[in-house]
Structure 1
Amino acid sequence: MKRILLRGATIVTMDRQGELAPGDLLVEDGRIAAIAPALDVEDAEVVDLPGHIVIPGLVNAHMHTWQTALRGLASNWTLLEYFRRMHAGLATAFAPEDLYIATRMGALNQLDCGTTTLADWCHNNPTPEHDDAALEALLSSGIRAAFFHGTPKPDPQPGQAPFWEVPHPRRELERLLRQHQGRPLLAIHAAVLGPHYSTLDVALHDFRMARELGVIASLHQGGGPARTPEGWQRLEEEGLLGPHINIVHGHALSDEQLQRFCALGMSFSAAAESEMSQGHGHPLTGRLRRFGRAPSLGVDLESVLSGDMLTQARVALGMQRSLDNLAYREQHGAIPPTTTIVTREALSWVTVEGARMLQQLDRIGTLAAGKQADLVVIRATDLNMQPVHDAVSSVVFHASLANIDSVMVAGRWKKRSGKLLAGDLARDLERLRASGAKITRALGLAH
């Protein structure tokens, strides 16, 4: 792989080097070889980037990518409507080819928006063929992916056990681990039910399985009453909690539980915009900060909202600032003298914390010599970005898809000069539309 020198950009490393303005970054063999104010390099392709900002590739820590063909369909649904209409309804009409095109196009959109690592939480996979289709789609997109193997959530049928009584299919997870072991851009993990959505026996089985297989176990927490209220206590007593457990949303956890889980090294992924829209409650951001921790962020549902991770950082930051400001005003009767959260912290939620949650902070999440060359080039000369006084604040509060000039994963360009490098997009978009139309017709929701 040839060497690439990015020259003259403002580089936001999110690492010990801080910001370089201007700075040079050398990519060699898929990794970052050096970052400095100026590099004298021979035999490298030079990309001149004055007026551009380079940031680490964004990490989407939680998304159900299989819903891409249903964009906007659930935008007016509460969580209860979503359970009924999506999991018990629309999800049942998906063939493997529907999962493939939704996952591929969802992953490509992530790249287009500056996300280089996607945690794909796949829980509409009733057969191995569905799993294989989703994984083929992720690999074809060129994104760095963590595939969280889940299970469908249909309504119970006569004579069948309800999904909350069914242990995670360990054999299928083991098959996927064997089949994809060693792929540089793909990791396999488990999307389990957890004690909020399963019986105690199922939760114990699934958490033991994750520990024995050495995978991250990610689970939803919240959204109505828990099926096993005492579940977390039992899991903790069995020694099954630790850094490999990821809680998504996290609502209904007490402060005592949250503090204990933080001490155990568990990770937390918020989906601020989705949570506020569908009725989960306020994101955990502020509660985690009180215990010295921070969330990773995810889009959650493109059937509800945009896949842009910078929007998620902005929404999560604005929501927590609002809560903090309100608490101060109620206590002191005045506007706070200073803000509680700076924009750099919000950018870390969609870079550093996402990498930490995936246990890949040694490889991604910041720009540093030796790490994977996953990065985003933002065109800061555009009308909506000028003038730039604070590069991080400009990225968090002003940048959008329109400003994402180029995206690199493991040293390879996936987007260049504003154009996604993804083959025949028109053909794939037609397949996506056809899939969405087929699924909605099957449930009588076609317009």
Structure 2
Amino acid sequence: MPMQRTLLRGGTVITMDPQHGTLPSADVLIEDGLIAQVAPHIEADAEIVDVSGHLVMPGMIDTHRHTWQTLLRSLCADWTLIEYIFAVRLGVSPAYTPQDVYLGNRLGALDAINSGVTTLLDFFHCNNSPEHADAAVTGLSDAGVRAVFGYGFYESSPGAPTWFADHSDRLADLSRVADAWFPSRDSLLTLGVSLTEMETIPFETARAEILAAREHDALMVTHTGSVWGMPSGVNALAEAGLLGPDQVHVHCNALNDDEWRLLAEHGAKVSISPETELNMGMGRPVFRAAEQHGIKPTLSCDIASFNSGDLFTQMRVGLGFHRWAETEDMNLRGASPERVTSSAETALEWTTTNAADAVGLADRIGRIKAGMAADIVVVGGPGTSQHPRLHPAGTIVFQTGPQDVRHVLIAGRFVKRDGTLVGVDLPKLLSAADAGAAGLLERVAKSGRELPGAPPQGWQALAAHMIPPA
């Protein structure tokens, strides 16, 4: 086959590479899915795409997204974390069919692509049957996104009918999924594992999940220290030699200094979900704690059942909180800062270079540099927020939304072009999603489960339902 070449001409290129920085006007040559050259001017036999007057940046990376929940968009906008757990995890999830999962994952992945997210760490914990897992992978694949599929071992609702007789069946199904869908680590989709929260299962069950993940060389993602007053499991994992750099720990709001030290010593990664954490009463996003312990923060959209599916919003909310937290003590003393402590480019690092390292793909994505995969986003167009562009990183973080994303390439292929998703019958998909959500909630209503489903008493009620007896 002839080599496929695309030349992005004349854009302001935010490379996120220390060697090149931001190039005011440069060309990017793409050959067979890889970045071949970045230079002020390139002559090549290639399809030329004029991106002058636009910003060119690496595709963004979301390090924790429950993509299947896209069918529940904004359902829990006014809920706390505990209400969410009872209503969605224990109430709605058991009513999901494989088709619901497929629609959620496909639409959610396309929503990500539309907003310049090219890679997802998909935290799949609606794994009610093998067919549910297959549908989740298929939804991601059909969307054309790059993703780590985090196979989950969760029981959607204790006591609810399930295909899996016991936890060993779920471990066996992980092996089936690995063999059926992930024969190579070089494809767009790679295998991960979504660990069950440590505080909700016996320790030996948690150990089995981690060992199974490592047997398949799978990245792990888990919620850690996200519910106040409950053990995080960090100390137990460290004592058992189970913490490691192949793990992304999500939220971490309730961790103490010793637990942070253990995560750092073992090279673990951290994902922060600013919108979710600030709105659901989960505590302060942990930028300061992570940085104090030498852990590079990353960002995630978490749940479309609550908040937005774009990382522009997470960067704005996260950077705003981080700057406020860094100056609060000074303000309370009656003083004002002379300069900000975290830059807009710092926020871009959270969603590019830091995130690429967290998902184990730093050699492939996160920078615009020769030899890297051509996962590229072009931002600009006629939107009022895009003119003038005086500060490239500032424009991305503070002025940009999904509507300003003109082009998205994944592995050199256009998946969004001229502001439109490529090869997607969007009206048909949205109609199917609307119908799917209506049918899903109708089944929930018929099951007798009530929404929002808040427990009568805080986390103690959660513990009574979810923590197994000693």
TM-score scaled by structure 2?
0.90
Stretches of structure 2 lacking an aligned partner (at least 5 in a row): 452-470
Q: Is the 8 A contact 2:11 2:54 kept in 1?
A: yes
Q: Is the 8 A contact 2:59 2:117 kept in 1?
A: yes
Question: 1:257 offset after TM fit, Å?
Answer: 1.6
Q: Is the 8 A contact 1:126 1:151 kept in 2?
A: no
Q: Is the 8 A contact 1:167 1:205 kept in 2?
A: no
Q: After superposition, give the CA deviation of every residue in 1:200-251 in whole Å (9 maximum; x if it has no partner).
A: 222222222223332122110134357656x432321222111012101112
Aligned to 1:308: 310
Q: Distance in 2 between matches of 1:351 and 1:283?
A: 19
| Cα separation, partners in 2 of 1:272 and 1:20, compared to 1, 3 Å | same
Aligned to 1:346: 347
Secondary structure at 2:441's aligned position in 1?
Answer: helix
Give the residue type in structure 1 aligned to 2:215: E
Aligned to 1:440: 441
Question: 1:174 offset after TM fit, Å?
Answer: 1.4
Q: Distance in 2 between matches of 1:12 and 1:371?
A: 14
Aligned to 2:384: 383
Matched, 1:151 2:144: no
Q: Distance in 2 between matches of 1:367 and 1:7?
A: 14
Aligned to 2:266: 264
Matched, 1:195 2:195: no
Stretches of structure 1 lacking an aligned partner (at least 5 in a row): none
Aligned to 2:459: none
Aligned to 2:460: none
Q: After superposition, give the CA deviation of every residue in 1:323-369 in whole Å (9 maximum; x if it has no partner).
A: 11102223x43011111100101011111121111100100011110
Q: Distance in 1 between matches of 2:319 and 2:160?
A: 46
Aligned to 1:67: 69
Secondary structure at 2:329's aligned position in 1?
Answer: helix
| Cα separation, partners in 2 of 1:247 and 1:379, compared to 1, 3 Å | same
Q: Is the 8 A contact 2:301 2:310 kept in 1?
A: yes
Aligned to 2:83: 81
Q: Distance in 2 between matches of 1:252 and 1:270?
A: 13
Matched, 1:416 2:431: no
Q: After superposition, give the CA deviation of every residue in 1:163-201 in whole Å (9 maximum; x if it has no partner).
A: 9x9468221111111122216100111101142332222
Give the residue type in structure 2 aligned to 1:18: G
Secondary structure at 1:438's aligned position in 2?
Answer: helix
Secondary structure at 1:443's aligned position in 2?
Answer: helix
Give the residue type in structure 1 aligned to 2:255: L
Q: After superposition, give the CA deviation of every residue in 1:261-305 in whole Å (9 maximum; x if it has no partner).
A: 112210001111111111111111111111222211110010111
| Cα separation, partners in 2 of 1:18 and 1:381, compared to 1, 3 Å | farther
Matched, 1:361 2:359: no
Q: After superposition, give the CA deviation of every residue in 1:303-329 in whole Å (9 maximum; x if it has no partner).
A: 111101111111111011111110222
Alignment of 1:51-62 (within 5 A): 51-62=53-64
Q: Is the 8 A contact 2:153 2:171 kept in 1?
A: no
Aligned to 1:25: 28
Aligned to 1:35: 38
Aligned to 1:6: 8
Q: Distance in 1 between matches of 2:230 and 2:257?
A: 20
Secondary structure at 2:79's aligned position in 1?
Answer: coil
Give the residue type in structure 2 aligned to 1:185: L
Identity %: 35
Give the residue type in structure 2 aligned to 1:175: R
TM-score scaled by structure 1?
0.94
Q: After superposition, give the CA deviation of every residue in 1:135-190 in whole Å (9 maximum; x if it has no partner).
A: 11111111101100013343322999x99x94682211111111222161001111
Q: Distance in 1 between matches of 2:82 and 2:155?
A: 13
Q: Distance in 2 between matches of 1:389 and 1:116?
A: 26
Secondary structure at 1:89's aligned position in 2?
Answer: helix
Aligned to 2:234: 232
Aligned to 2:323: 321
Aligned to 1:170: 171
Q: Distance in 2 between matches of 1:213 and 1:275?
A: 31
Aligned to 2:456: none
C-alpha RMSD of the superposition: 2.1
Alignment of 1:102-121 (within 5 A): 102-121=104-123
| Cα separation, partners in 2 of 1:107 and 1:158, compared to 1, 3 Å | closer
Q: Distance in 2 between matches of 1:296 and 1:27?
A: 27
Q: Distance in 2 between matches of 1:154 and 1:376?
A: 36
Q: Distance in 2 between matches of 1:190 and 1:6?
A: 36
Q: Distance in 2 between matches of 1:339 and 1:105?
A: 37
Q: Distance in 2 between matches of 1:295 and 1:210?
A: 23
**Structure 1 segments (4+ residues) deviating >6 Å:** none
Aligned to 2:468: none
Q: Distance in 1 between matches of 2:328 and 2:360?
A: 35
Give the residue type in structure 2 aligned to 1:403: D
Q: Distance in 2 between matches of 1:193 and 1:152?
A: 6
Secondary structure at 1:279's aligned position in 2?
Answer: coil
Of the structure 1 ranges 148-157 and 297-306, higher mean CA displacement relative to structure 2 is found in 148-157
Give the residue type in structure 2 aligned to 1:71: R
Secondary structure at 1:169's aligned position in 2?
Answer: helix
| Cα separation, partners in 2 of 1:226 and 1:197, compared to 1, 3 Å | farther
Give the residue type in structure 2 aligned to 1:139: S
Secondary structure at 1:384's aligned position in 2?
Answer: helix
| Cα separation, partners in 2 of 1:159 and 1:345, compared to 1, 3 Å | closer
Query: Among residues 125, 128, 131, which one is paired with 1:129 in the alignment?
Result: 131
Question: 1:122 offset after TM fit, Å?
Answer: 0.5
Q: Distance in 2 between matches of 1:158 and 1:419?
A: 42
Matched, 1:186 2:189: yes
Question: 1:422 offset after TM fit, Å?
Answer: 3.1
| Cα separation, partners in 2 of 1:348 and 1:374, compared to 1, 3 Å | same
Q: Is the 8 A contact 2:106 2:139 kept in 1?
A: yes
Secondary structure at 2:384's aligned position in 1?
Answer: coil
Q: Distance in 1 between matches of 2:33 and 2:150?
A: 25
Secondary structure at 1:88's aligned position in 2?
Answer: helix
